[in-house]
Structure 1
């Protein structure tokens, strides 16, 4: 199975890959810090359910609009510098959000954080693609795709332990400090890798392509694959992130759990997504078709998502169902992210191709929480709109069929 333009390094530089994945985990923590704190934020700032959803989703507004463009910037300039800029914006947004307890300011800082997140999310896969040898590529990308559930689960476990002592603003400030410390670790680690000769492959790549490849960009934009991958990811995240963002609140309201208990169960559900991410990387490595993994994710997501909200199977089944939902839908991120490299005309367009996937992801994440919050407010309870969980996956299956045809034609043309 072709995976597109890849690195020509003799041996994978796992230190570089680990640092890139860690940057993604740090960025994803800024997503995951919201669900456990959302009930407190809503109470302190007198937010409606829809406005509370925006605290979670507005983070993705920049990526939803400029994901592909930011990928193009990363392809034109040094991707590591773009990553550092992203970390700086994440730290700034979290710092300001923690210092100023105002709903308007908080929403604005979420946009700042979102810009930083998008910069990290589109540059890390390119850094990984340069650092991994071809035989390790899908495994490395599979590991990278765990960054979102890993970062979210980590902070969702830690946040309840901090809330009683420092409140939600303290959680924001702690995150700002963690980002700043990690940026220093990243600088030292990358300098060590490059000074040890690990940057030779990247330097050769930069020297070989000093001019922005507009012809490659035009070819990429004309290919249907990146657009279809982005749409698949959007349909996945609009459902997955909506459920993850509201899950603690849902468990508090429907099962009478404490916020700490609900947050820990929600973290378990998020963590289950990692099994799907890694499983997809392994299955792709074995030659399982990408479209099949995406189709399985949509089918299982539709069934389990509808059952979670139906109210007809008993509240005690909600958490096991949510774990199954998260694990199987986790097949999709690895499949889509790995597919981005396949559709890039050359490695120089890897970040931009990944930008399609990230933009699709952020569009779905932007829309999911406020839409679900609005539905809950309109229907009066969670059980009355179970059927909504079927719409996105049904569309996704049609998109997957189109992706299958596009990839078959691309493979035949090579």
Structure 2
């Protein structure tokens, strides 16, 4: 497939599916107040992280699972599961049941964020792979921006349940299109390996885990900043604009990565963002905040583009995407509660952001340097991982 031409229409369909995966987080993050009204005695922010739990526990295995059942089957099963759970969330239920649906929703989300980019990069010719992964990296920002635009009207019309039912209906409508058109990529058949061997194989090779480490540090920023930074800057309208600034950087990263190695671009994005957050804290400037989100977007896209840069065959890319999912979900899970401790304080939010960005520049930088010097995973013996 990749030897001839890039299949842009199919890549666009897969990216659109990714927007609905992003909406699994956005639909709750952007309606926290309304959901808190439904469950006044519950710790609703924890439900934002509910989807992350499965990714934390099973992210590393997800790449192998996708290899076993095939990318096509993984996408189709994930869409069915996600649609069903979102429709169920449209009914009245206790918070415990709602939380359970959020955790179960994590299975569908995990399969999507591993299988979709694996198929997208397989459908791209080599010169377009970094661009395709830069495009994929925008799925979270675009998904958030769309939900931010749509949610107020839907909430005014039918409440929180209407938003969740709408999400489920769009997923259900997408299923027959995907079933009809998706090709077989990495058709599956491998046996599932030992759990400990999986983690050992992934986290002993920086070519697998370096992009995920950068991604996990980044995800601890993004959702929390969208949720808390607008109020700290006294600019509630930023809720819809911050994701756009972020995704602009992510989209640009795919093209920049044609000239600068994605593994280096990720580190540079962290470093620039750290400086911009310092300036934001001192000036309170909305424009600087948007520039900081653009810089973190460069990092986000670069981490995705680093997967095919460091891993050249679909199975290795699926394993690296599994690490991306696991570490990304750890970041998503931890970021919102940490930022909630300093919500309302611009200096507090900026301070946490600076620490995270410096951490990313240092530790992701070290991991990427090791990855560039490491043996390609495909050349390794794989008897211990199946």
1:294·1:331 contact (CA, 8 Å) conserved in 2?
A: yes
Aligned equivalents of 2:173, 2:376: Cα separation in 1: 48
Q: Which has the larger radius of gyration?
A: 1
- Alignment coverage as a number of residue pairs: 375
Deviation at 1:265, TM superposition (A): 2.7
Query: Out of 59, 68, 85, which is 1:76 matched to?
Result: 68
| Match of residue 160 from structure 2 | 168
* Cα RMSD, aligned residues only: 2.7
Secondary structure (helix, strand or coil) at the match of 1:107 reads: helix
Over residues 354-376 of structure 1, what are the superposed CA-to-partner deviations in whole Å (9 max), with x where a residue is unaligned?
11112111110111111211344
Aligned pairs for 1:238-277 within 5 A: 238-247=220-229, 250=231, 255=234, 262=236, 264-277=237-250
Distance in 2, matches of 1:245 and 1:61, equals: 20
Q: 2:256 aligns with which of 283, 300, 314?
A: 283
Counterpart secondary structure, 1:100: coil
Deviation at 1:187, TM superposition (A): 1.8
**1:107 aligned onto 2:99:** yes
How far 1:213 moved relative to its partner?
Answer: 9.6
Which structure features the higher share of helix residues? 1
2:313 aligned with 1:313, yes or no?
Answer: no
Q: Give the Cα–Cα distance (whole angstroms) in 2 for the partners of residues 57 and 210 of structure 1.
A: 32
Alignment correspondent of 2:382: none
Report the CA distance between 1:227 and its aligned residue: 2.3
Query: Taking structure 1 as reference, are residues 411 and 36 closer, same or farther at Cα in structure 2, changes over 3 Å only?
Result: same
- SS of structure 2 residue aligned to 1:128: helix
Q: Is 1:36 matched with 2:30?
A: yes
**CA offset at residue 388 of structure 1?**
2.1
Quick one: which of 36, 46, 49 aligns to 2:40?
46
| Residue 169 of structure 1, CA deviation | 1.5
User: Does the CA contact (< 8 Å) of 1:343 and 1:353 recur in 2?
Assistant: no
CA contact (8 A) 1:57 1:368 kept: no
Distance in 2, matches of 1:228 and 1:410, equals 11
Whether 1:363 and 2:346 are equivalent positions in the alignment is: no
Give the Å deviation of 1:381. Answer: 4.7
Cα separation, partners in 2 of 1:92 and 1:412, compared to 1, 3 Å: closer
Structure 2 counterpart of 1:4? none
Q: Which runs of 5+ in 2 are unaligned?
A: 380-386
| SS, match of residue 283 in structure 2 | coil
Deviation track 1:186-211 (CA, whole Å, cap 9, x = no partner) reads: 22333xxx5xxxx6xx4xx64xx854
CA separation of 1:385 and 1:222: change in aligned 2, threshold 3 A: closer
1:307/1:386 contact within 8 Å kept = no
Q: Distance in 1 between matches of 2:229 and 2:291?
A: 14
What are structure 1's unaligned runs of at least 5 residues?
A: 1-6
Are residues 385 and 240 of structure 1, via their aligned partners in 2, closer, same or farther at CA, if it must alter by over 3 Å? closer
Tell me, in whole angstroms, the C-alpha distance in 2 between the residues paired with 1:213 and 1:368: 31
TM-score, normalised relative to structure 2: 0.88
Alpha carbons of structure 1 residues 395 and 224: separation in structure 2 relative to 1, 3 Å: same
Q: Given the two structures, how large is their TM-score scaled by the length of structure 1?
A: 0.82
Verify the 8 A CA contact 1:63 1:358 in the aligned structure 2.
yes
Q: Which residue of 2 aligns with 1:392?
A: 356
The SS at the match of 1:99 is: coil
| Contact 1:24–1:124 (CA under 8 A) maintained in structure 2 | yes
